[in-house]
Structure 1
Amino acid sequence: MANQEPKHSRPKLSDVCVYGLKQEDEFVGIRYNDGDLKVYFPFGYSRPSSDEEQKYRDDILNLVSVLSAYSKESLGVGENRMLNDENVHFPIHAYIHVFNYFLNHGYYVENEPVYKRAKGGKINWSKTIKQVRPQIAGDFPNESVVYLDFVTKKSAHNENELITQIHKFCVYEAYEKIGCLFGFMQPEKAIVPFNAELFVSVLRTRMANTFNEKHLLLFQNMLDIICYMGKREDNRKASFGTNDFEYVWEGLIDHVFGIDDKDKYFPHCTWKIDNDEKSLDWRSEKRTALRPDTIMELTDDCKKIFILDAKYYQYPRTLPGTGSILKQIAYAEFIETQLRDIPDQAGNDIFNAFILPYAAEDGRNVETSYRLENFGYAECDWRKGDAQDAKPYERIYGILLDVRSIMQRHPKSSDKDIAELAAKIDNYSNIMPSSSSLSPSS
């Protein structure tokens, strides 16, 4: 069935995977270039603790899962610019499914009988009675039921063999692109040349006459591969990923720690136009200039609100600038005005934090399940007044979040995780001295 001998040119997954480095174009994902496969992980995603192939394979599949969850197909084209069109159209899940099916079941071989309506042939009376309306012949009381068409078994040897060859073609194509993820199995090449129009027609015809869900799923993934290849001028290159991983980073943090109805905390503006009875209300989602990445709430003795800004920056080389700091304070002040009419709520219950990625070191004493660490805080010089009148949100605390831990657990959240992050911010704010220093501390 397949050549089980090792393919000597097959690279080690440890050589395929690139950890801890930012690419010039900021790409995160999988790139195939004329036989060379590379997998680029985001900054802060640490290398596995052991060199077992399965560890690297798990990392790659996890990366694919995370990128898929935050692609334009998942979140809507208008909501972000996560994965560009050329990248996201690469049907990597179809490639993985087709090769997995081959490893588990071998090549697809048609065993189901195919039926058609015809005047003659080997009649299946059960299907004929259910699917064909009979005609009534003769006059009462000598009426009789007559079938003018029958459901007959179709001889489809050539078509069945072609389906098998199309599967062989898709399996080999998947092996060429991502085969190193699955071991040493080198499949046979199909004997039929690539013909997108013919392959698509045969697959769609078979899907219309197949009721086996497992086979339907296989055919759909084969169809995705064929359609993708048919639209590509250069099939020697393929990629699945994003040049804007910061949107993935924001999405991960929002899903894990954020509330769903954070739009109630969005500041809005209205233009008043001279000599015009109407006002322009800038309240639509697309026109809202200030939108917090994540709002986290903790309800204990009283509600505490945490405004989290996810920054995909390389600490300590890059830190959020003045504009980001001022926006965090503006969010907090707006929320404070929203809470004035609520008993026991005040600005003392609002906190600000930046969340930056990092790779937690093995053996380091990190207490939280998401491996969180404080590194410092930022504040504005002109807001330094009486320390007793200062609001907690006027300091924006820096938190490092281990990338591997959050990507492996996406998008799970729990009250325990939220409480751990809240404690990192709240407890740190209670021990920090009054200072205007913006320097990070370890």
Structure 2
Amino acid sequence: MCSSKINKIKNFHPHPVTGKTDDSFVGLRIKGNDIHFFYPESYRFDEESLKVRMDIIDLLRTISIAKTSSIEPSRANNTTKVQGEYALMSYIWVIRDFLANGFYINREKTYKVNESGRVDWKRTMGTQPIVSNRNIIYPNIIVSVKNEVDNLIVDIHKYCVKKSIDFIGWLFNLSSSFIETKPFNAGIKKLYVATIQKELDKTFEDDKRIRLKHLLNVVVGLDTNENNDEFVYGVDSYYYIFERMIDSIFGNVKNMADFNPKASWQLLQNNYQERNSRDLRPDTIIVRDDGSVFILDSKFYRFGFTGDESDLPETTSIQKQITYGEYISKYVTKVDVKEVYNAFLLPYDKERDKFRSEDNLQYIGFAKSKWKDNKLGYELVHTFLIDLHHVVKTWSRLNHSDDVERLVSEILEHNEEAKGILGV
């Protein structure tokens, strides 16, 4: 009970999000002292947990996916709208770096000859001396002096630490009241940005460049109005992020163009000149050494939360999967395709009573069309629930072989089972 109180975040208001119209924003809204955290309803979240702050950070990290480069940026932009996109992960980085290393100090010295300052004897003795009457004289005394630019970066760093703590210090149980900074205005902001950019242009040290880039993100994201105490960071829809995380975990095909079913238009107004239509594009593809291909469609639908069959993928989604399978089976030549299989992946919370399980992956059945004979592997769309908490925690890892092997083996197993049920 005591540890729960210590861990509790003041003025914190969690909001599970259904994903419906007007209830799809995922992220943070901070106004004054009130912190509003919006998370997908299928994301396991407990504000009394000892790991509550890490659970918040993990979910917020996924939002950066919406602003990373994409081969189809228009698709990402149409699906998600990022607010406050520059600064949040830099706030977190700056605070963690501060906790580990303290305030930035003059790490680089500037050396001058025959000026006032602290003598650097090692460098001085490395210069050419004069020998006179058996005395060794160094005519060029090298001294280390304070670098004015470096000193300015000290001020910038201190200001960025303070502002980062002001925005998200509650994630680390920190207050910025102990940090004193100089007044901030449009002129100072311009100076800070120019100073950081100048240092970036001449710095090749990786660690320093990382720090400077985060400081720049924080400064660029700061409003010159000191009274502005509202902060928003999030996306209007989590659908695209879920799709990208699933692809990161399971997909092993990076160039998807060869797997995209294609069509074209030939219009009278263009003298029937052929013009390409926009391709269909599968979400995720797994290609195995034995020539088997698995087409995955990430569906950020509510079935894993509600159990309501009306929240399952509709016929148009089923039809698209079958089209993908047929196209890849017949027309893809870059891979020696032997068998093609289909699957939907929907989010759920494995610890919630509706579908309580010890497994991150739970099979719920398959979809089929009524215009095919369902004898081919890709004509059935096997459907799984995947624990969203697990996805959020692991999507950025480098090795997902266990998840992939588990999914592939289950698809193959249930495909044989389904054939028996259908008598095909």
TM-score category of the 2 structures, normalised to the smaller one: 0.7 to 0.9
User: Residues 228-279 of structure 1: CA distance to partner in whole angstroms, max 9, x if unpaired?
Assistant: 2147898322222211211111111112212324322211123345697874
SS at match of 1:399: strand
Q: Could you tell me the TM-score, scaled by structure 1's length?
A: 0.73
User: Residues 361-393 of structure 1: CA distance to partner in whole angstroms, max 9, x if unpaired?
Assistant: 27988575xx1112222223343x5xxx73232
Paired AA for residue 61 in structure 2: S
**Quick check: 1:13–1:181 contact (8 Å CA) kept in 2?**
no
Give the match for residue 70 of structure 2: 75
**Quick check: 2:66–2:82 contact (8 Å CA) kept in 1?**
no
Q: 2:314 aligns with which of 308, 311, 321?
A: 321
The yes-or-no answer on 1:394 pairing with 2:391 is no
Q: 1:337 aligns with which of 325, 330, 340?
A: 330
Q: 2:287 aligns with which of 282, 286, 297?
A: 297
Give the match for residue 178 of structure 1: 168
Give the distance between the partners of 2:198 and 2:124, measured in 1 at CA: 21
Paired AA for residue 381 in structure 2: I
Give the match for residue 43 of structure 1: 41
Give the distance between the partners of 1:342 and 1:88, measured in 2 at CA: 39
Give the alignment of 1:212-361 within 5 angstroms: 214=207, 217-230=210-223, 235-260=228-253, 261-273=255-267, 279-282=273-276, 287-299=277-289, 302-315=290-303, 316-317=307-308, 318-338=311-331, 345=338, 349-361=339-351
User: Residues 192-212 of structure 1: CA distance to partner in whole angstroms, max 9, x if unpaired?
Assistant: 211313433555566678787
The yes-or-no answer on 1:376 pairing with 2:365 is yes
Q: 2:60 aligns with which of 57, 64, 75?
A: 64
RMSD (Å), alpha carbons: 4.2
Give the distance between the partners of 1:309 and 1:394, measured in 2 at CA: 14
User: Residues 332-384 of structure 1: CA distance to partner in whole angstroms, max 9, x if unpaired?
Assistant: 22122227999993xxx32222111111127988575xx1112222223343x
Give the match for residue 30 of structure 1: 28
Q: How far does residue 324 in structure 1 lie from its aligned partner after superposition?
A: 1.2
Paired AA for residue 348 in structure 2: Y
The yes-or-no answer on 1:410 pairing with 2:408 is no
**Quick check: 2:351–2:357 contact (8 Å CA) kept in 1?**
no
**Quick check: 1:71–1:88 contact (8 Å CA) kept in 2?**
no
**Quick check: 2:12–2:34 contact (8 Å CA) kept in 1?**
no
The yes-or-no answer on 1:425 pairing with 2:420 is no
SS at match of 2:422: coil
Paired AA for residue 255 in structure 1: S
The alignment of Structure 1 onto Structure 2 pairs a total of residues equal to: 392
Q: How far does residue 184 in structure 1 lie from its aligned partner after superposition?
A: 4.1
Paired AA for residue 84 in structure 2: N
Between the two proteins, what is the percent identity of the paired residues?
Answer: 25
Q: How far does residue 18 in structure 1 lie from its aligned partner after superposition?
A: 4.1
**Quick check: 1:271–1:280 contact (8 Å CA) kept in 2?**
yes
Give the distance between the partners of 1:208 and 1:431, measured in 2 at CA: 61
Paired AA for residue 419 in structure 1: E
CA, structure 1 residues 220+350, in 2 after alignment: closer, same or farther (shift >3 Å)?
Answer: closer
Paired AA for residue 296 in structure 1: I
Which segments of 5 or more consecutive residues in structure 2 lack a partner in the other structure?
Answer: 127-138
**Structure 1 stretch 12-21 or stretch 28-37: which is displaced more?**
12-21
Give the distance between the partners of 1:362 and 1:275, measured in 2 at CA: 57
SS at match of 2:411: helix
Give the distance between the partners of 1:340 and 1:153, measured in 2 at CA: 66
Determine which structure has more spread, i.e. the larger CA radius of gyration: 1
**Quick check: 2:260–2:282 contact (8 Å CA) kept in 1?**
yes
CA, structure 1 residues 227+115, in 2 after alignment: closer, same or farther (shift >3 Å)?
Answer: farther
SS at match of 1:80: helix
Paired AA for residue 351 in structure 2: E
